[in-house]
C-alpha cells in the first residue's frame, strides 16, 4: 500500500511540476484590443440596445451593401478589401454582437434570431427605404441565407462566400468532422498551451482571456490541413482583431435542428439573384459543397476563385472583387 501511495504521490508531484512549468513557460504579454465599450475612438452604431463596432464607406445615396463576417464570433477585418466596392455602393461593415470589437452580451442574447433581428436593425440604419445587397462569408453567408428566407423583401441581391452548412443534417456531419479534427493530439496540445497563455491575459475586460483562447483555437483549427481551408502548404492567416469567445459557441449550442434548418430551408422565398463563391483550394466546403447549395435558391450561380482558400476575399481580393462586380452589374 505504501508503494502505491508513493507512486500516486510521485504522479501528483509530476503533474504539479508540469502545470507549473507550463504556467511559467507561457508567461508573457498577450495583448487583446479593447471593444467599443472601453475604446471611445472606435466607430460604432447602436442597434437593439447593443453597441456595434461598425463603419461605412461611400456615398449614402448609392445602393447599400452590408457585409457579414464569419465565425460566429469573428470580425470583419479580413473582409475590408470589399471597401473597394464603395466607388459605386454604400458599403457597411459591422462586428456582430458579442464578436470582434462590438459590445459583449450574455450568452442567452446570442442566438440565430437575435442575429437576424440585429441585421434588420443594421438595415434600418443604413438602408431603411430600399432593399440592400448582402455579402456574407462563412457563418456570415449562413446568416445571410437565413435572412433571405425570413426577410426576402429587405434584400436585392446576395453574395454568399462559402457558407458552411445550411441544414440540421449538414450541421451534424459538420460537427462530427470538426470533432475529429479537434481531437488530434497536436491540436489538443495547442489548446492546452493556449489555455495557459490565456491565464496571463490582463484585460482590457473580463472577456479578454476567453476571447484570446477561442480566437487562437479558431486559427489553429482553420490552419489544420484536414479542414482544407487553405491552399497546400499555407496557413490560415486572414487578419482579425479579436474573437468573441462566448459568441463562438453560444449560437450553435442554442440553435437545435429547427434553427439549423432555418439557415437554408426558406431561402427559396427570396426571388432575387444569389452568387455563391468558392475558393479553388478549399476542399471541405469548397466547390463541390457549394454546388449542393445551389438548389436552395430561386436564382443562384456559383463561381470558383483560383488560388484561393476559404477566405477568398483575403486570399485573392482582386479576382473576388471582379466576380462580385460583374454579378452586381448584371442585376443592380
CB 64 within 8 A of CB 90: yes
Grid cell, residue 294, equals: 445551389
| DSSP conformational letter for 4 | H
Residue 303 bridge partners (DSSP): 277
Residue given cell 477568398 in the structure block? 312
Find how far residue 307's CA is from the centre of its chain: 21
Give the 3-state secondary structure of 59-88.
CCCCCEEEEECCCCCCCCHHHHHHHHHHHC
Grid cell, residue 141, equals: 453567408
For residues 257-278, one letter each, b for 16 or more C-beta atoms within 10 angstroms of the residue's C-beta and e for the rest, the string is eebbbbbbbbbbebebbbbbbb
Which domains, and CATH codes, for the chain? 44-170+249-331 (3.40.50.1820)
CB 305 within 8 A of CB 323: yes
Total-model pTM: 0.94
Residue given cell 462580385 in the structure block? 324
CB 249 within 8 A of CB 276: no
Closest to 332 (Cα-Cα) out of 275, 269, 264, 291: 275
> What is the rounded distance in angstroms from the CA atom of residue 33 to the CA atom of residue 69?
18
> What is the rounded distance in angstroms from the CA atom of residue 81 to the CA atom of residue 290?
23
Grid cell, residue 30, equals: 498577450
Closest to 299 (Cα-Cα) out of 165, 155, 122, 140: 155
Distances, alpha carbon 11 to alpha carbons 15, 150, 259, in Å: 6, 57, 46
> What is the rounded distance in angstroms from the CA atom of residue 161 to the CA atom of residue 140?
8
Give the pLDDT score at 265: 94
C-alpha torsion angle, residues 79, 160, 320, 177 (rounded to 10):
80
Query: What is the residue-level pLDDT of the chain in tens, covering all 332 positions?
Result: 556 556 565 556 555 555 566 666 777 888 999 999 999 999 999 999 999 999 999 999 999 999 999 999 999 999 999 999 999 999 999 999 999 999 999 999 999 999 999 999 999 999 999 999 999 999 999 999 999 999 999 999 999 999 999 999 999 999 999 999 999 999 998 989 998 899 999 989 999 999 999 999 999 999 999 999 999 999 899 999 999 999 988 888 888 899 899 999 999 999 999 999 999 999 999 999 999 999 999 999 999 999 999 999 999 999 999 999 999 998 65
Task: List, in order, residues 6 or more apart from 86 with CB less than 8 Å away.
Answer: 57, 58
> What is the rounded distance in angstroms from the CA atom of residue 310 to the CA atom of residue 314?
9
Amino acid at each position: 500500500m505504501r508503494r502505491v501511495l508513493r507512486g500516486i504521490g510521485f504522479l501528483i508531484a509530476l503533474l504539479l511540476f508540469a502545470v507549473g512549468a507550463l504556467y511559467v513557460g507561457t508567461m508573457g504579454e498577450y495583448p487583446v484590443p479593447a471593444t467599443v465599450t472601453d475604446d471611445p475612438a472606435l466607430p460604432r452604431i447602436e442597434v437593439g440596445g447593443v453597441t456595434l463596432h461598425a463603419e461605412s464607406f461611400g456615398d449614402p445615396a448609392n445602393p447599400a451593401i452590408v457585409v457579414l463576417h464569419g465565425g460566429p464570433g469573428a470580425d470583419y477585418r479580413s473582409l475590408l478589401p470589399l471597401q473597394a466596392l464603395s466607388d459605386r455602393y454604400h458599403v457597411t461593415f459591422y462586428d456582430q454582437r458579442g464578436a470582434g470589437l462590438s459590445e459583449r452580451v450574455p450568452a442567452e442574447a446570442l442566438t440565430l434570431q437575435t442575429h437576424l433581428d440585429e441585421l434588420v436593425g443594421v438595415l434600418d440604419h443604413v438602408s431603411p427605404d430600399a432593399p440592400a445587397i448582402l455579402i456574407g462569408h462563412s457563418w456570415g453567408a449562413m446568416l445571410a441565407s437565413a435572412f433571405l428566407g425570413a426577410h426576402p423583401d429587405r434584400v436585392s441581391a446576395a453574395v454568399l462566400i462559402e457558407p458552411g452548412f445550411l441544414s440540421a443534417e449538414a450541421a451534424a456531419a459538420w460537427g462530427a468532422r470538426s470533432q475529429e479534427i479537434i481531437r488530434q493530439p497536436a491540436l489538443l496540445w495547442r489548446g492546452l498551451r493556449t489555455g495557459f497563455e490565456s491565464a496571463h491575459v490582463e484585460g482590457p475586460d473580463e472577456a479578454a482571456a476567453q476571447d484570446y483562447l477561442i480566437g487562437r483555437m479558431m486559427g489553429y483549427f482553420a490552419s489544420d490541413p484536414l479542414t482544407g481551408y487553405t491552399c497546400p502548404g499555407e496557413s490560415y492567416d486572414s487578419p482579425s482583431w479579436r474573437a468573441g469567445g462566448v459568441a463562438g459557441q453560444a449560437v450553435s449550442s442554442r440553435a437545435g435542428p429547427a434553427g439549423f434548418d432555418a439557415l437554408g430551408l426558406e431561402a427559396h422565398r427570396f426571388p432575387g439573384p444569389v452568387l455563391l463563391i468558392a475558393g479553388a483550394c478549399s476542399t471541405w466546403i469548397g466547390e463541390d459543397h457549394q454546388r449542393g447549395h445551389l438548389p436552395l435558391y430561386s436564382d443562384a450561380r456559383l463561381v470558383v476563385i483560383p488560388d484561393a482558400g476559404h477566405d477568398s476575399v483575403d486570399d485573392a481580393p482582386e479576382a473576388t472583387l471582379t466576380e462580385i462586380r460583374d454579378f452586381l452589374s448584371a442585376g443592380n
